Amino acid sequence: MRWDVARELDRAHGLPRSAVFDTLYRTPTWHDIERGVGDPSAWLEEAHRALEAQAGRPLPRLHDLWRAAQGFIQPNLALACALRGRYKVSVLSNADRSLRGRLEREPEVFCLFDDVVVSAEVGMAKPEPEVFRLAARRLGIGPAECVFVDDWDVNVNAAREVGMTAVLHRADKGDDLRAQLAAVGVRAEA
C-alpha cells in the first residue's frame, strides 16, 4: 500500500488524515466486497461520495489516483524469487475479486507464488482465524510452519493467535523484509 501517496492526497485536498483510506476500506461495504459480496463499482462510488461529504465539496476521483499509484515493491519481489527454491511462497490478501486477474496479467510476478488466497474468492478475510488456516492448508503445511508478513498489526496478531510466526513489515517506514525474515529464521538464497 502506498501510504505516502494516500497521506499526500489527504493533505493536498485538505482532508483529515487517513480519509482516503478510511472511506475506501473502513466501511461495511468493503467488509462485504472483500468477502466476495456486493458490487465493486457501487463500493467505489460510495467511497467517493463519502470522501466528498468529508470535504464538503466535489473532489477528483482520489481513490482511483491512490489505487493507480499501487505497485509491486521490487525488493520484495526479488526476495520472493530468492525464497522460492527453499520455501513455499503464497499471497493471502484481503482484496476484491479483481486481484487474481491483476496478478495473472503479470506472469513474472504470478509465477513467484505457490498459491494466491484472495479473500473475495474464499468468502472470509484477515483477521478471521480460519483464513490463515486455509492459506496454510492450501500449501499443505500447518500454521506453525508458516511465517506470515503483513503491514497491519491486527493481521499480524491474528496470525500469531493461530500459531504462525508473524512479521509486521512496513515498506513505507523503511523496514527491510529480508532482514526481518532472517531474524525469524527464514533465509533467502543469495
Neighbouring CB atoms inside 10 A of 2's CB total: 17
- Contact indicator for 54, 15 with CB cutoff of 8 Å: yes
The Cα 149–Cα 122 span in angstroms is 20
At 116, which helix (H) or strand (E)?
strand 115-118
Grid cell for residue 84: 522460492
Percentage with pLDDT > 90 across the chain:
87
Give residue limits of the domains in the chain: 3-69, 74-183
CATH 3.20.20.70 assigned to domain 74-183? The reply is no
DSSP 8-class letter at 172: G
pLDDT at position 171 is 86
Q: How far apart are CA 143 and CA 75, in angstroms?
A: 26
**117 vs 28, 89, 105, 106, 122, CA distance in Å?**
21, 11, 16, 17, 7
pLDDT attached to residue 190: 60
Cis, bond preceding 127 (omega within 30 deg of 0): yes
- CA distances, 156 to each of 9, 25, 125 (Å): 27, 18, 13
Which residues of the chain register pLDDT less than 50?
none
Question: How far apart (Å, rounded) are the C-alpha atoms in residues 47 and 112?
Answer: 33
pLDDT in the model for residue 175: 93
Strand partners, 117: 92
- The HSE-up count of residue 104 (CA atoms within 13 Å, CB side) is 8
Tens of pLDDT, residue by residue over 61-89, are 999 999 899 888 888 899 999 999 899 99
Residue from 61, 42, 38 nearest 51 by CA: 61
pLDDT confidence of residue 4:
86
Mean pLDDT of the chain: 95
Cell representation of residue 114? 505457490
